[in-house]
Amino acid sequence: MEVIYTGLRQTPEMIATAALQEDVDAVGVSILSGAHNTLCPRIISLLREQGMNDCLVIVGGIVPEDDIPKLKEQGVSAIFLPGTSTQDIVKFIRENVKPRE
């Protein structure tokens, strides 16, 4: 696996552009600000507009349990809350990223 870190305070447009340029299989977003209901749908929309329909969007951070079902309906592949082990996140990615041919 290769990980590309784009830094803090990236806009959805910056995230989607980097994902397209780097031809990624998954986008991981860490959100501690409470802006997940605004940022995540926009990121997903921009990725889909660019034809990145198989790109997983994974969210980590502080997300209220009540917000999780709606985020998943909007296309978030997984949400990892504080305390989730790194092994669980890696396992999810390995099991859900489609191998390239």
Q: Give the burial string for 9-45 (b: 16+ CB within 10 Å, else e).
A: eeebeebbebbbeeebbbbbbebeeeebeebbbbbbe
pLDDT-derived band at 2, boundaries 50, 70, 90: confident
Token pair for 42: 């926009």
Residue 28 φ/ψ, nearest 5 degrees: -110, 130
What is the rounded CA–CA span in Å between residue 57 and residue 44? Answer: 7
Per-residue pLDDT reduced to its tens digit, 63-96:
999 999 999 999 999 999 999 999 999 999 999 9
Per-residue pLDDT reduced to its tens digit, 30-50:
998 999 999 999 999 999 999
Residue 1's pLDDT is what? 80
Mean pLDDT of 6-21: 96
Residue 101's pLDDT is what? 77
pTM: predicted TM-score of the whole model, two decimal places = 0.92
Residue with tokens 């803090």, as numbered in its chain: 8
- Residue 16: pLDDT over 90: yes
